[in-house]
Chain A
Amino acid sequence: MQSETQVIAGLFYDGVLQPQAWHAAMDAMCTQLQAGVFHSFTLDESSAPTPESAGNLEQFGLHARHMAEYETQHAGNDPRLAATLRLATGGVMLDHEHFSAREALRNPVYADWLIPLGLKHTAGTVVRLEGSALDIISFMRPRDARPYSADDKRFIERLVPDIARAAKLRARMVTLSRSAHLGMAALDSLRQSIVVVDAQCRIHHANAAAERLLALPGALGARQGQLRCAVGTVHERLEQLVRGACATPAKAGAIALADGPQRLVAAVLPLQASHAWAGMQAPMALVVAAMPGAASSLAPRLVGDMLGLSPTETRLALLLAAGKTVKDFAAIEGMSWHTARSHHKNLLRRAGCHRQTELVQLLQTLQFA
């Protein structure tokens, strides 16, 4: 018996990272309690992310429409839920201890929903109460089964501290995964090269664009995990700027990493430790590299896709960005000024621009976004 609860507790802890282990733990409890159905779910009024719910409702023939019926018609006046919430944290609710069989039969949740579905006696407990979020687990026995016994209650009570601890870890893991995913994926979606370095220029993170830039031979590269410039004097200046951004008070700076057609500039910015949890005790700096070429260096396909333009409109947009006029465009394309003007109108409308300068600015922001 002791080892059985230990195994189940272990499954709950494994369930912090693996939903199927959480499911297996609930399933094992369900078997031990001779219940037919189990359900583990989160109630949260805020729109915060919640852990996955787990249940075997479908195995018992309960489908989405039954759950929808429960949520719309019964959840609001479910005496089982109300009784569970009235208990102190860690308390186990056995339905027959809170209302009589007569009361249950008169209640629509039992009469119109549970019993027709072949279920009756319910045990439930709150395993997490944090802010506006509530994690609840519940077990329902087939309708012809006896109410839960004192032994059943003790069995649940023995497991509650471990389930509560695991539920807290699981919720924390969901929040952390989300923040980590959001930050990393957002950085990766930017087209600028972004590298997080410490005061010694050691790379702690590089976004997807930076990984590509560093892999190519060029002005900026990585050697043994350190950010390095190809030219010694430029590297010294970069090191100096990075140290400045990591110092207190921190200072931002900018540097031209390469001149000429492959011009590459970088801004070195201090990283505020506002989100610092474990692992970011050392001050860090952000190196953001961009190629400030003319907007005409943009790939035509990208411009066309992003602004939703036709190929002709895209060519016109790139010419305008390079400082040419609508007249030049008409001459290059061999079309009448009138036709060129109508392309121009469509172009501005599609890009949401009201003036040509706006369009040029928009194209300029595109290459850094």
Chain B
Amino acid sequence: MQEQAKRIAGLLYDGVLSPQDWYDGLDGLREALGAGLFDYFTLSTISSQASGSVNNQGYVGLHAEKLREYQDHYIGQDLRMAALAQLPVGQLMLDHEHISTREMSRNIVYTDFLRPCGFQHTLGALVRDEGGSRDFLGFIRPSDHAPYGANDKALVERLMPDLTRAARLRARTGQLARHAALGLAALDALPQGIAVVDAQCRIQYSNPAADRMLARPGAMSVRHGRLSCHDGNAQARWQSIVADACGRQVTGMAGALQPAPGARSWMVTVLPINARHPMALHQAPMALAVLHDPAAPNGIDPRLIGEMLGLSPTETRLALLLAAGNTVKDFAAAEGMSWHTARSHTKNLLRKTGCRRQLELVALLQSLRIG
């Protein structure tokens, strides 16, 4: 039993990161208990919704519909769940100790659900109860098997500290992985260039839009893992902006950085990242840089902007020229059309976007492009 319990505990801890090991650990315990079925699931205490079930129901011929049927019709009348709800985390529930044979023969969960599927006795426990969700684990024996005995109880009790600890670690890992996935995916999807740097300008994260900007020749690039400016003056300015955002309690810093005398500047906004965020883990101060190159519409494909606003290709070109700081006259010259025609395109453009003035249109485009 010693070795068996140790092996199962090891699989459960490995299961914190590996779903297969988690399954194998639970299945190993099921086998050791002589049960036919195991089910591990999370119940939200707020919505009473079950989720994240790990079980071997497919193996024993029970399919997803059966599980749904249980959740829809039976879970509310399940005497086993009622008994479990009374017990603290980690305490075992053997159904025959809580529910008499008479009660079992009258309860529809036993008569209409378990027995027709060929199952009866259940050993269960609440293994985690924190932050609005509870994890339950159950092992169910075939109907021709005897109720669970003292040996079964001893084995599960021996494993219980490992089981509850692994359940907590697994839930925490899942939550962190979810947060990390959502947060980084959201930053990745933003069309503006975003880079997270530490006080020494070392890049900790950059989104695809920033990667594209930094790969092109421009005001900034990555050197030895640091986000830096080519021009000496701009570099000094950039470093001091980042140091300020990382060091002092400021709302943020912003400035224009010029790649070379006479060239178009990049607009850079640097915001401090809150180190008191609940997920911070002894973290060095960091800052978030939003990069904007007015000369190159970063992020969304220009064609997409036209599509979003329902513009013709000509109107889209006009809108982008205006956004880059050019005039209607410049547009007429570039397209080789009369000023009159250009003006009528402008009118249509404003009408279609619902803007009253050119300035509003520029602002609208800007908000679409970077947001």
Q: Chain A residues in contact with chain B, CB under 8 A?
A: 2, 10, 13-14, 16-17, 47, 49, 52, 161-162, 165-166, 168-169, 172-174, 176-192, 194, 196, 204-205, 252-254, 256, 259, 265, 267, 269-280, 284, 286, 288-295, 302, 305-308, 323, 351-354, 357-359, 361-362, 364-366, 368-369
Contact = CB atoms under 8 A, between A and B. Distances in A.
Contacts of B189: 269-272, 286
B196 interface: yes
A252 B325 contact: no
B162 to A, nearest CB: 8
B169 A169 contact: yes
Contacts of A168: 17
Interface in B297-325: 300, 304, 308-309, 325
Contacts of A273: 185
Contacts of A259: 354
Interface string B255-283: 11110000001010101111101011111
A165 B185 contact: no
B187 interface: yes
B179 A180 contact: yes
A169 B290 CA distance: 34
Given A186-B194, A267-B368, A357-B325, A278 B258 contact: no
Contacts of B114: none
A271 B186 contact: yes
Contact of A290 (B161, B300, B367): B367
A281 B210 CA distance: 26
A233 B104 CA distance: 54
B252 interface: yes
Interface of B: 2, 10, 13-14, 16-17, 161-162, 165-166, 168-169, 172-174, 176-192, 194, 196, 202, 204-205, 234, 237, 250-258, 265, 267, 269, 271-275, 277, 279-283, 286, 288, 290, 292, 294, 300, 304, 308-309, 325, 354, 359-360, 362-364, 366-368, 370-371
A10 B10 contact: no
Contact of A293 (B267, B286, B363): B363
A68 B237 CA distance: 35
Contacts of B202: 47
Contacts of B176: 173, 176-177, 179-180
B54 to A, nearest CB: 12
A335 to B, nearest CB: 25
Contact of B371 (A16, A192, A204, A308): A192
Contact of A286 (B190, B359, B363): B190
A169 B254 contact: no
A252 B309 CA distance: 12
B178 A279 contact: yes
B196 to A, nearest CB: 5
A329 to B, nearest CB: 18
23 contacts: A10-B161, A10-B162, A13-B162, A52-B282, A165-B10, A172-B17, A180-B177, A182-B183, A183-B186, A184-B183, A188-B274, A192-B370, A205-B186, A252-B304, A270-B189, A271-B185, A272-B185, A279-B174, A286-B190, A294-B360, A295-B363, A352-B234, A365-B254
Nearest to A10: B161
A368 B360 CA distance: 14
A369 B188 contact: no
A236 to B, nearest CB: 17
Contacts, number: 259
A235 to B, nearest CB: 18
Contact of A361 (B14, B17, B294, B360): B294
B288 A305 contact: no
B180 A189 contact: no
Contact of B205 (A166, A182, A204): A182
B253 A308 contact: yes
Contacts of A254: 308-309, 368
A358 B265 contact: yes
B21 to A, nearest CB: 10
B246 to A, nearest CB: 12
Contacts of A294: 359-360, 363
A103 to B, nearest CB: 38
- Listed residue (A190, A256, A369) with the most chain B CB atoms within 10 angstroms of its CB: A369
A280 B186 CA distance: 12
A336 B186 CA distance: 50
Contacts of A270: 189
Contacts of B325: 357, 361
B255 A165 contact: no
A177 B279 CA distance: 6
Pick the 4 closest A-B CB pairs, nearest first. Answer: A183-B183, A369-B269, A179-B180, A279-B178
A17 B176 CA distance: 12
- Listed residue (A176, A186, A267, A277) with the most chain B CB atoms within 10 angstroms of its CB: A186
A62 to B, nearest CB: 22
Nearest to B172: A17
B253 A17 contact: no
A265 B361 CA distance: 12
A102 to B, nearest CB: 41
Contacts of A52: 282
A181 B273 CA distance: 10
B366 A365 contact: yes
Given A13-B13, A179-B180, A306-B254, A186 B273 contact: yes
Contact of A366 (B182, B269, B362): B269
A364 B176 CA distance: 35
A176 to B, nearest CB: 4
- Listed residue (B179, B258, B360) with the most chain A CB atoms within 10 angstroms of its CB: B179
Given A169-B13, A174-B281, A366-B269, 9 more contacts: A176-B173, A184-B179, A184-B277, A194-B186, A196-B185, A204-B182, A280-B178, A288-B190, A352-B237
- Listed residue (B254, B290, B308) with the most chain A CB atoms within 10 angstroms of its CB: B254
B252 A169 contact: no
Given A275-B185, A365-B269, A180 B173 contact: no
Given A194-B186, A351-B255, A365-B267, A290 B178 contact: no
A253 B368 CA distance: 9
Nearest to B165: A13
A183 B281 contact: no
A265 B182 contact: no
